[in-house]
A and B are shown apart, each in its own frame.
Chain A
């Protein structure tokens, strides 16, 4: 029952917004439903640890530790993003850059997006998971193209074409898994449920499962943004409005990875851990190398953040490759930390773009001097993302490296660390350019080349605490979790054992 309510909350938000035609009150109700989803998710997680997995909706939904954890992540990021989304929509409506119809579409689609992500992680059935993830692609395409510029149109076209191809391949992988389970004696009624798959996995034909897992990594990996299927990611995440980028980068990528984790658990029983390990290591190292090389020459800070997401997805894949419970727990912690920090950063960069008028790195100087609150949040967020203590990404990366050495993937961890150092240098260099320096205005020539709507006069004022407060809360949460993982240790341990029993 609780699970059905959990799914209905974002839906309720969508209905309220659709009826209320993007009036601020309706929008805040939607934010409230997302926060409610976070709260309910926490309750479900606690109950799951105490009682065990819960099911709902006649077995279509199932929440074990892993699902509950992902619900918490989704809830947290969705609350942050929709909070700032309200403000963005209000600003657009005030300046006439948007109509109530488009604002309503935006808000409804965001709720549909959040609802589908929740459905994906709560699905008991692999087919429902697929349908939900495909639905998120459809919901986000218009969100990416929200600003109706040529760049965003191109980005949304690339996004939906590449991700649809990937999702189609993931469906083929799912069909092959279904074939394997039917031949191993599963009954067609519940054959695609996770529990049934795990139970019969030892009888699956290894050759079929190998092909299936490769297709699933290729397919869902497209949505995760792993190289070489990543080409949609920088465009989509940089052209989308900031709250949407936060949601996509913070949590959609990891929901797609959640699917890969689940299938990895099944494949490891059927084929042995070596195959998935090799595949995931290859993909992760490729992503890390690509992110490192392309981050050095970035000129746009939103694209920089997008490539940084590719790096983190590579790290997560590397952690998952190790496969032992310690590694999976580290991966999940990383998912949470990355979700919080990346969404805070994207939301901050959205604010920066709104007040500065440019998304180019060389168009922004002395942010700390001119707008200390925004600059401070941005700087601290970057510190968090680069893996510095006390933030949780430091902890999770350390645990991952330890786990890699434990299973003999030390060489891969070393290569990853080299890439991380390069990325650190690149991002720190870009950040230094943006944050430090005197508080003078950027040269006109730089601003002239940007592709933006006109900077609204009202945005030159100081950012309101209503904006910076949730961002600071997000960063603080990230830091707290890094130091004391205690609210989550039990949950992480249980979730890790779902994937690596």
Chain B
């Protein structure tokens, strides 16, 4: 088993190197010379040379890449051109906000997706199954930023039930913080819940047709008990992998959700940076996103091996 885990970790190394090259390469896509833009109107040769040396732009590209990797490894993602604040500081400020949104959205997704998937597999072909499938297909087809706009219109503008936008830290006012985040979290979680339902359903269906389920039923165990104790526990194994893959969508969805509800998180940071042409921030955010996605998926793979008795023994 340790061998399997070690192999999985080894495969991640070239992926990490390629991702870093890709993100480093992004800045080379920019048209024009960034130094000329920074040097301002006089285009003083001295200033240009100093800037070039400062950002190592006078070195060959492989050397630039190596220097960049060295900085990143030391936790230095550069400074924001706009605010002159280190990119790591900016990300550290915004991350808790997005994390709260992500955790609450995940609770919605799990709370909706898994029970709906179990019910729809257990009652395959009935009206319940049909209803759950319609929900899943709609959830997958509705753009979540539009769902957000519609909810703001109904829940906030018409019914005055929840605040329409903004962010309150849970440390300042816990309940208000939860209340403000409720709608964005639902919007983000519903789409994930829809996908989770589909995966749970198909995982449950393949487990439910297994021989040991028939044996358990033949033994006289109650149907509900068989579904929860025997089937769901085994169906859970592939669902762990799906959850890790959905983590990427959670991050991407957060960008849009934060934009709709004007939440000052990670996603708002990257979109604002795009419009301010603050490339170091964009690069930093993409890097942190990719790294966390790789780490989460590695963790899921290891968990998969640990959870699966067949792999544990080998």
Q: Report if A and B associate in a common complex.
A: no
